[in-house]
Structure formats: structure tokens, C-alpha cells
Amino acid sequence: MSFSDAELLILLLHNSKEHRIKGRTRFQKIVYLLKNQEINFQYEFRPYLYGPYSVNLKKDIRMLTKLGLLEEESQEIEFDGVVYDRYVYSLTEEGRQVAETEAGRFPEISGRLAELAADMEDLSTGSLILSSKYVMNHELSQE
């Protein structure tokens, strides 16, 4: 049984709260931390301004959006008196159908993703950035 990264992303969204992930940065950090917890993502991450970042992950998110499985919605949020744009990703109707079929076929991985996604749900994006920076720094210093 093997998954492509894109399929795992669909399953991840399916198992996230309200089937959505709020923010591109948040999306990146969640996938990075999942990869460090034995979820078999192939993405390679490099240290960037806000912690680990993978170009291929960005490409896959964009691909799924273009193919009509993910929906990207722009939202304005306020932080420290400054207004920022944030992108909220959610599954489209078609994406949900694909996800349900996959979740039915592979309940084990789907359940594990639900568990791990719930663990990260309460953390703010800032905390996720700091945590993943720590994990990546640790990983790079081990090499």
C-alpha cells in the first residue's frame, strides 16, 4: 500500500477540524511535523524565514487547487494591529468524495492522521513555527 503525497494531503484535510487548514505557513508546519511522526511524506524541507518549508509541498497544494479538489479562500486577519492576508484551504465537494473513498480503503492511516492533526489543532501558528524550527534545527545538527 503506497500513497502519493497529494493523496495524503487530501486525507489530512479530510481529518482536520472542519476539513480545513488556515494559512499556508500553518499547512507547511503541520506537514513537516507529521513527516517527523512517521507519516510517509516524501517532501524535502529546508529552513526558511518561518521555519521548515518545502517547495514541492507548495506545488502539490497548488496542483490540487487547480485540479478542483482543494479550495483556496483569502481571509483578512489582524495581528498586532496589522492586517494580513491568510489563505484558508478546504476540500471541495469533489475532494471530499475522493477523500471518503481513500479513507474507506485505508482506515488505519486515516485514523492516525486524525489523531495527529487533533494534537496540533490547539497550537497557534506561531507555536507550530517555533516547534518545527526546533525539530528541524535538531535534525540538521544531527547530520
Partner 1 sequence: MSLFRIKDPIYPDFKIDEYKSNFALMQSYAVNRLRFIKQLGLKAYSGRFPSANHTRYEHSIGAMHLSRQFCDQLYKNTQDLDLRGSIKEYGPTIQIAALLHDIGHGPFSHVIDDILGIFGESHEKMTVKIIEGLLADDIRNLDPSIDIKDVCAIILGNHSEHAYLNDVIHGHFDVDRMDYLARDAYFTATEYQWRAYSLMQSMKISKIPQLTNRKLDAMKKEIESSRIPKRKEIRDAIDLVKDLWTDHVCICNEEGVVHAEMMLVTRRAMYENVYYETSSRIAEKMISNAILWMIKQNKNTKDMFLDPRIFITLDDFELFALLKQSGEYAAEIVKRIKEGRFFDLFVEGKVAEVDRLKAAVIKKDYKEIETIQKEIAKELQTEPERVLLDIIVKKGFERNRVFAQIGGKVKPLEEVSAIIEALVSSIEKEMTFGIYVDGEKVKKKNNKHKQTIVNILGGKENTQ
Q: Which residues of 106-124 are buried (b: 16+ CB within 10 A; e: fewer)?
A: beebbebbbebbeebeebe
CA distances from 23 to 65, 110, 126 (A): 14, 22, 12
d(CA 53, CA 43): 9
What is the Cα–Cα distance from 127 to 50, expressed in whole angstroms?
Answer: 11
Distance of closest approach, residue 18 Cβ to partner 1, in angstroms: 19
Say whether residue 40 binds partner 1 (CB under 8 A).
Answer: no
* Angle ∠(18,85,88) on CA atoms, nearest 5: 20
Decide if residue 105 touches partner 1 (CB under 8 A): no
User: Does 142 sit near partner 1 (CB under 8 A)?
Assistant: no
Least separation in angstroms between residue 108's CB and partner 1 is: 19
Q: Considering only residues 17, 40, 59, 75, which one is a binding residue for partner 1 as defined by CB under 8 A?
A: 59
By CB under 8 A, tell whether 37 contacts partner 1.
yes
Q: Which stretch binds partner 1 (CB under 8 A): 12-20, 65-73, 104-112?
A: 65-73
Do 60 and 42 contact (CB within 8 A), yes or no?
no
Binding site for partner 1 (CB under 8 A): 4-7, 10, 24-25, 33, 36-37, 46-49, 51, 58-59, 62-64, 66-69, 85, 98, 119-120, 122-124, 126-127, 130-131, 133-138, 140-141
